[in-house]
Chain A
Amino acid sequence: MSKYFLNYLDELESEAIFVLREVYAQFRNPVILFSGGKDSILLTHLAKKAFYPSKIPFALMHIDTGHNFPETIQFRDDLVDKLGVELLVGSVQEAIEDGRVLEEKGKNATRNSLQITTLLDAIEDNQIDCAIGGGRRDEEKARAKERFFSHRDDFGQWTPKNQRPELWNLFNGKMHQGEHFRVFPISNWTEMDVWNYIKREQIAIPSLYYAHEREVVWRSDSWIPVSEYLPKIENEEIFTKKIRFRTLGDITITGGIESDADTLEKIVNEVSSMRETERGNRSDDKRSETAMEDRKKQGYF
């Protein structure tokens, strides 16, 4: 076999770097949507590679639900310091206080869909023409039809039926005033690819991804961490379990799995033998069969 071929991780990396450089070339004021989760950390790592030895030419933007894992915020602040990039924060808490959005009530209340308004406000306030996201097509069926360069109208909405055709490596980021783009450089990666790459590149990730002991309650088929933000249910039993998180989001809805995987090696082995999708532990996606599709149309990540 010829030595002139890329293995699949190199090819995915090269594709993502190409897309990130296209963003820089085609847009005026792009940001990386940064949640502190592994996908946005991966994006940031790829951006560092794409522009080396220059600094990452994008700010990081965090849409903060106010319900954070403290470890995520610490990780975010350290990373921003290290890279010397600007951090923009869109606060759901502030939007609630200003009356822009109404908080859900009840024991299953989450701030998940409230992020949409905050995200769109932050995009408008900061005059952002392109928000780079860590969305992957393998995550969910609505995401399977997403483009690398995804056009949003002036209400921030996604129209799945009217997407621009995307061929070869030719990306069309032209738009009218007031519209913006979402760009997904790691569209073609799967969860397994992300972990294999993190391991290969030895990328630092928040400790929450590694197995650790934590107080949790059993809700909607997963272990939800006990925190000051979690609405209490009377007589609910609190367990101490060795768990880790497969995805990181709002602390009130991100479920952990029981695990002993405390190294990247063990995580990769564990993920490769997993029989459930990673979003299976996200109660935001369990609300209905089209939960993601509906939120995406409105302007969700």
Chain B
Amino acid sequence: MKIDKNQLLRFTTAGSVDDGKSTLIGRLLYDSKSIFEDQLDAVEKTSKRKGHEKVDLALFTDGLKDEREQGITIDVAYRYFTTPKRKFIIADTPGHIQYTRNMVTGASTANVALILIDARKGVIEQTKRHSYIASLLQISHVIVCINKMDLVDYKEEVFDDIVHQYEDLSSKMMIKDVRYIPISALEGDNVVHRSENMKWYQNAPLLHTLETLHISSDNNMIDARFPVQTVLRPQSEEHRDYRGYAGRIASGIFRIGDAVKVLPSGFTSTIKSMNIQDTQLKEAFSEMSVAITLEDDIDISRGDMLVKINNSPQVTQDITAMLCWFNEESARPRAKYVLRHTTNSQKAIIKEILYKVDVNAIKRVENDKELKMNDISKVKIRTTAPLMVDEYMQNRNTGSFILVDEATNETVAAGMIM
């Protein structure tokens, strides 16, 4: 198996008890031979005990004790499988409105969102909610799986009708790439294997689609941004003068000899070297963790950002953002929070709540100004010191932030800068 070119693809699935999400994930794992015998044995036993005729594929994604007792998913669960073409990470999230925060969490790192629609029901409230979140979090690709096709006699008209319904919906959102696949997770149609029952569907089954989607250009490779995590100063005999800036490139490409600027100070220098351990690099790009040294001795510390001299983010204390509230305790008006953005951390206040979003109807709610758990809103925030930001639409890594409550230390909100 040639693995050196294989990429990692992260996708998220949202769904509630009945739409077949767990069965779909179970089917993907089972048909791609990612289930081990001891896991299969355990699931077969449980299926029998519960009186199911066949192996209940949904049991492969069984969760914690509380979740099993209540038959629901409470928290994001991460699952893994690998095919000869790619490694996959599934963020398996609950779909009910009360778990919006978990959906947002799962979506934050995903390349692809799988949206499940029950062929008998078509586009429903939950479909809108999941799609809105995929669009809000700017997931690059959406795959709409129209499931339970076996229950509508595998009819092409049913599929076509739902595709039209969804096109109506997605035209109101910012979703770049939408694909539609008619499937039956229970029977295995078009999940891993091409369906014999839907000859009218000419495109690839789900797994093949996931294996071949072009994801290399999902990252921003234009705007070079390097948030400094920490400074490496070994002060050993061998590396007496070494002063390296450790971090993960948030976006773009850096090369040796590039003229760079340090923000917020504005000092300039030139990249002298870049390395991962003792491997010297001529260039390094987005999502690589490296150490960078500069030609000049400049005062740089955690939270600063290296950028190219002719391409800067906005340096600002005032941001407008879409904010998703996570905490049981509502946002207190003008309360102070710690805002964490890249490796930077500053005190912040929510100055104004512009409007809230009704994620089921996808419309604005203007008069309600209280941010409760799972609410999504547009807000204005001011920080005590400058942040180096890009729009989330352009740059996921430099356009995102979280708010931490200083009293409880909990992560109370996540934001996307506009």
Contacts and interface: CB of A to CB of B under 8 A. Distances in A.
Interface of A: 1-2, 4-15, 17-18, 21-22, 24-25, 48-55, 137-138, 141-142, 144-145, 160-161, 163-170, 172, 174-176, 187-188, 190, 192-193, 196, 272, 274-277, 280, 289-290, 293
A2 B218 CA distance: 12
A6 B80 contact: no
A142 B288 CA distance: 30
A222 to B, nearest CB: 11
B80 A188 contact: yes
B302 A25 contact: yes
Contacts of B74: 161
Interface string B101-140: 1101100110000000000000000000000000000000
A160 to B, nearest CB: 5
A72 to B, nearest CB: 25
Interface string B209-222: 00000111101010
A8 B404 contact: no
A192 B82 contact: yes
A187 B89 CA distance: 11
Given A50-B246, A167-B105, 13 more contacts: A2-B221, A5-B219, A14-B288, A14-B289, A21-B247, A52-B232, A54-B232, A190-B80, A193-B87, A274-B36, A276-B36, A276-B37, A276-B38
Contacts of A2: 216-217, 221
A293 B229 contact: no
B411 A165 contact: yes
Contacts of A18: 229, 248, 289
A9 B76 CA distance: 23
A170 B340 CA distance: 7
B286 interface: yes
Contacts of A1: 214, 216
B214 to A, nearest CB: 8
Contacts of A275: 36-37
16 contacts: A4-B285, A5-B7, A7-B5, A25-B343, A49-B276, A53-B238, A137-B79, A145-B63, A145-B75, A145-B78, A163-B75, A165-B105, A170-B341, A170-B401, A174-B404, A293-B65
A188 B76 CA distance: 14
A76 B135 CA distance: 49
Nearest to B250: A169
A141 B75 contact: no
B286 A4 contact: yes
Contacts, number: 180
Given A54-B234, A55-B234, A8 B6 contact: yes
A84 B125 CA distance: 59
Contacts of B5: 7
Contacts of B246: 21, 50-51
Contact of B77 (A22, A54, A145): A145
Contacts of B238: 53
B185 interface: no
Nearest to A11: B8
A53 B236 contact: yes
Contacts of B104: 165, 167
B13 to A, nearest CB: 14
A5 B80 CA distance: 20
Nearest to A136: B80
B64 A9 contact: no
B289 A50 contact: yes
B277 interface: yes
B402 interface: yes
Interface of B: 1, 3-8, 36-39, 42, 62-66, 74-80, 82, 86-87, 89, 101-102, 104-105, 108-109, 214-217, 219, 221, 229-230, 232-234, 236, 238-239, 242, 244, 246-248, 253, 275-278, 285-289, 291, 302, 326, 338, 340-341, 343, 396-397, 400-402, 404, 409-411, 414
A280 B236 CA distance: 46
Contacts of B76: 145
Contacts of A290: 65
Contacts of A192: 82
A160 B78 contact: no
Contacts of A277: 36, 38-39
Contacts of A5: 7, 215-216, 219
A144 B77 contact: yes
Contacts of A49: 276-277
B8 A52 contact: no
Nearest to B286: A4
B414 A167 contact: yes
Contacts of A6: 7-8, 287-288
A169 B102 contact: no
Contacts of B86: 8
B89 A188 contact: yes
A53 B246 CA distance: 11
Contact of A8 (B8, B36, B62, B230): B8
A161 B75 contact: yes
A167 B80 contact: no
Contact of A272 (B1, B36, B102): B1
Contact of A144 (B1, B78, B248): B78
Contacts of A25: 229-230, 302, 343
A190 to B, nearest CB: 5
Nearest to B343: A25
B80 A137 contact: yes
A9 B5 CA distance: 10
Contacts of A4: 216, 221, 253, 285-286
A9 B288 CA distance: 12
A169 B101 CA distance: 16
Contacts of A169: 248, 397
B38 A164 contact: no
Nearest 8 A-B pairs (CB), nearest first? A174-B409, A17-B289, A8-B8, A167-B108, A54-B234, A8-B87, A5-B216, A14-B289
Given A14-B288, A17-B289, A50-B289, A166 B105 contact: yes
Contacts of B414: 165, 167
A22 B229 contact: yes
A230 B216 CA distance: 53
Nearest to A14: B289
Contacts of A50: 246, 289
Contacts of A7: 3-8
